[in-house]
A and B are shown apart, each in its own frame.
Chain A
Amino acid sequence: MLALLLGVRPVLAALTIEIIGGGEKQIPVAIAPLSGEVRLPHRISEIVAADLTRSGLFRMIDPGGIAPPLDPSAIRYGDWTSRGAEALVIGAVQLRSDGRFDVRFRLMDTLKRQQLAGFSYTITAVQTRHTAHRIADVVHEKLLGIEGAFATRITYVVKRGSRFELQIADADGFGPQTVLASNEPIISPAWSPEGDRLAYVSFEQRKPVIYVQSLATGKRRVLANFRGSNSSPAWSPDGRRLAVVLTLDGSSQIYLINADGSGVARLTDSANIDTEPNFSPDGQSMIFTSDRGGSPQVYRVPVAGGAVERLTFEGNYNVSPRYSPDGKSFVFVQRSGGRFNLMLHEIATRQVIPLTDGAVDESPSFAPNGRMILYASKMGGHGILAAVSNDGHIKQRLTVEAGDVREPAWGPMQKGL
Chain B
Amino acid sequence: MNRILMTVALAGLLGACSGGVKEDGAPVEDRKPDAVQQAPMRSTPPRAVPSAPTVRSIESSVSTRNPLKDPGNILSKRSVYFDYDSMTVKDEFKPLVSAHAKYLTTNRGHKIVIQGNADERGSREYNLALGQRRADSVKKMLLLLGVGDSQIETISFGEEKPRAKGADEGSYAENRRSDIVYDSE
Contact = CB atoms under 8 A, between A and B. Distances in A.
Residue from B126, B133, B161 whose CB has the most chain A CB atoms within 10 Å:
B126
Interface in A208-231: 208, 227-229, 231
Residue from A207, A227, A360 whose CB has the most chain B CB atoms within 10 Å:
A207
B144 to A, nearest CB: 15
A273 B134 CA distance: 12
Interface residues of B, number: 27
A247 interface: yes
Contacts of B160: 185, 187, 203
A33 interface: no
A289 interface: yes
Contacts of A319: 122-123, 126
A160 to B, nearest CB: 11
A208 B155 contact: yes
Interface stretch (B6-14, B20-28, B59-67, B72-80): B20-28
Contacts of A188: 124-125
Nearest to B20: A162
Interface string B132-169: 11001000000000000000011111101100000100
A172 interface: no
B89 interface: no
A275 B129 contact: yes
B112 interface: no
Contact of A245 (B20, B26, B129, B130): B129
Contact of A273 (B20, B25, B126): B126
B137 to A, nearest CB: 11
Contact of B122 (A161, A232, A317): A317
Given A162-B23, A251-B132, A362-B124, A185 B161 contact: yes
B25 to A, nearest CB: 7
A199 interface: no
B101 interface: no
Interface string A273-314: 101100000000000010000001000000000000000000
A276 B155 CA distance: 17
B153 A183 contact: no
B128 interface: yes
B154 A276 contact: no
A235 interface: no
B156 A229 contact: yes
Nearest to B130: A273
Contacts of A252: 128-129, 132-133
Contacts of B113: 206-207
A141 to B, nearest CB: 34
A340 interface: yes
Contacts of B155: 206-208, 228-229, 247
B23 A183 contact: yes
Contacts of B123: 276, 289, 296, 319-320, 333, 362-363
B122 A187 contact: no
A208 B128 contact: yes
A143 B102 CA distance: 73
A250 interface: yes
A231 B128 contact: yes
Given A252-B129, A275-B129, A407 B124 contact: yes
Contacts of B157: 185, 203, 208
Interface string A326-358: 000000010100001000000000000000000
A83 B23 CA distance: 59
A203 B157 CA distance: 8
A360 B121 CA distance: 8
A329 to B, nearest CB: 19
A403 B157 CA distance: 21
Residue from B20, B113, B129, B136 whose CB has the most chain A CB atoms within 10 Å:
B129
Interface of B: 20, 23-26, 113, 121-126, 128-130, 132-133, 136, 153-158, 160-161, 167
11 contacts: A184-B26, A208-B156, A231-B128, A252-B129, A273-B129, A275-B128, A275-B129, A296-B123, A360-B121, A362-B123, A362-B124
Given A187-B124, A208-B156, 12 more contacts: A183-B23, A184-B26, A187-B128, A208-B155, A228-B155, A232-B125, A247-B155, A251-B132, A276-B125, A362-B122, A363-B123, A407-B124
Interface pairs A-B: 5 shortest CB-CB? A252-B129, A185-B160, A207-B155, A162-B24, A273-B129
